[in-house]
Amino acid sequence: MKKGGINPNVKLELTLPHPDEVSFAKFLTQSGTFRDGDLLVNRDGVRIVSQTETQPQPPITPSDNQLSLEDMDMVKVIGKGSSGIVQLVQHKWTSQFFALKIIQMNIEESARKAIAQELKINQSSQCPYVVMSYQSFYNNGAISIILEYMDGGSLADFLKSVKTIPEPHLAAICKQVLKGLLYLHHEKHIIHRDLKPSNLLVNHRGEVKITDFGVSAIMQSTSGQANSFVGTYNYMSPERIIGDRHSSKSDIWSLGLVLLECATGQFPFSPPELEECWTNVYELMETIVDQPPPSAPSDQFSPEFCSFISACVQKDPNNRQSAHELMTHPFMNMYEDLHVDLESYFTNAGSPLATLQNFEAMDGSQGIISLVGGFDNKVAQPAMCLSPEKPTWDTGGSLFIC
């Protein structure tokens, strides 16, 4: 064979990378950092940096709390989805519990960009009424997010135990949710877009916090509106179902449905005759759009509560009150003299306090999958039997943003 020639007996094979790998490569730097626009995530943590030419991009650094994955002991898996898992973990040195979401990144590019948007919201949100994100990491093809652990589970879980929630306790719960919405809507200009019982978490200190900004929209325009169709159909406002532009008032509609469900123990829109639950999502959406909005029965609830629900579920979003206006509604203050103790209420009526002993005593069927909200990676699909809401992991779209 001549020098430089090709041996005809040698078989050459050309292997093309999987399309997902090609797409994913666009998000990685040479050092192995996951990057999307101004978001940088690596094994040391997450940082949002400037993209302007006049400002240098500082290196990514850990947050001041110095949390690391190496300091976490896994207690148990508390949620599973098609793209990852949620683990309950315990810090080795302080014994503090955290919820750890681990998201595999070999998924669609749109979902990866959604994760990036969620991380930006988590990084910038600091509010006692919103579940805290302590730190995020990228390593070995996965994003890991250390989240505040809410030991009482979700409001959906709590409803399974108590069936209904009395007005005084609902007012105290609602006040905390409204404070969270005030922060999101007016300070951060964020529409949550998936407010539902499973995305409202409680703990044994009597706190209620909003979680899961998976389908949230940052209202960057002056109009403060969005028009993408994501979120859980059950609690979706009429204007969103028909594809109209929507604002923070869509979250207020969802809040009204959540409160009414908590008060009555049933999803506010009744299924067709002779059916125990909704079996057709299109019929449900038609009902939400075409039928009158639900109302609280005046013979079972106070005029103030009935008025509050009505202020939330007006079909025309322009007629709905904002979170700021609802904070001054008479229902918010009518039970203040009772000094409602949500700490005792959640502790006595809800799930047992989270301890290693309690977790070891639990079997797999008792899971606590709603302790950090949903874990989904697709546009929402409805929970077919809606009363009470059942947690679903591969539907709902409640982890990512469009």
Residue 300: how many other CB atoms lie within 10 Å: 11
Q: CA torsion 179→184→185→191, rounded to 10°?
A: -130
C-alpha span between 309 and 293 (Å, rounded): 10
HEC secondary structure over 183-199:
HHHHHCCEECCCCCHHH
* E-strand stretches of 243-351: none
- Is residue 294 within 8 Å of 260, Cβ to Cβ? yes
Q: Which residues of 178-213 are buried (b: 16+ CB within 10 A; e: fewer)?
A: bbbbbbbbeebebbbbbbbbbbbbbbbebbbbbbbb
Q: Assign residue 349 a region: left if phi > 0, alpha if psi is -120 to 50, beta otherwise?
A: alpha
User: What is the rounded distance in angstroms from the CA atom of residue 376 to the CA atom of residue 84?
Assistant: 9
Residues 251, 304: contact at Cβ < 8 Å?
A: no
Q: In 3-state terms, what secondary structure has residue 20?
A: helix
- Residue 175 assigned to a binding site: no
* Residues with a known catalytic role: 194
Binding positions for ATP are: 101
List residues forming the annotated binding site: 101
